[in-house]
Homo-oligomer: A and B are copies of this chain.
């Protein structure tokens, strides 16, 4: 069995799971799902990947003719930095609780490109991504990040949907 042979090699080398995070509850749920569902061994690694968009490009969504001073840009960048750090620390803490080796990667760029590039470069074994993160406006304009990645990366992709509270109540 080909998959079994590949598995034997990974058993020694350790597998790399990439979880794409974007400060949304959706992506934190995707991480929790991965920690609970995937069978992590000691040699395995979970990579917490955050694509950091430029605060200027985010501000551009406010409309054309919106001018930012350099102080405003620096201030926005610092605020973004603090938010990302707090979020990533929370994510690292969840991994620690489950005794899963984790590393964080904050990479500047568009989430779609960053995720596909990192997954490819690291020869990741699985990519976990929330179904509805990365901003509603961009999703309408460019399609969902999860769809984009599912079509482009070579490894298995898990698209995690956070169940609505109503659906969860109905189920139990």
Contact = CB atoms under 8 A, between A and B. Distances in A.
Interface in A140-172: 146-147, 150, 154-161, 163, 167-168, 171-172
Interface of A: 1-4, 6-7, 9, 29-30, 32-33, 36-39, 94, 123, 125-126, 146-147, 150, 154-161, 163, 167-168, 171-172
Contact of A161 (B36, B155, B158, B167): B155
Nearest to A155: B161
Given A32-B1, A38-B38, A154 B172 contact: no
A17 to B, nearest CB: 9
A150 B144 CA distance: 12
Interface pairs A-B: 10 shortest CB-CB: A3-B32, A39-B39, A156-B160, A158-B158, A7-B36, A157-B159, A123-B171, A150-B159, A3-B29, A156-B158
Contact of A154 (B29, B36, B157, B161): B161
Contacts of A154: 161, 163, 167
Nearest to A165: B2
Contacts of A172: 9
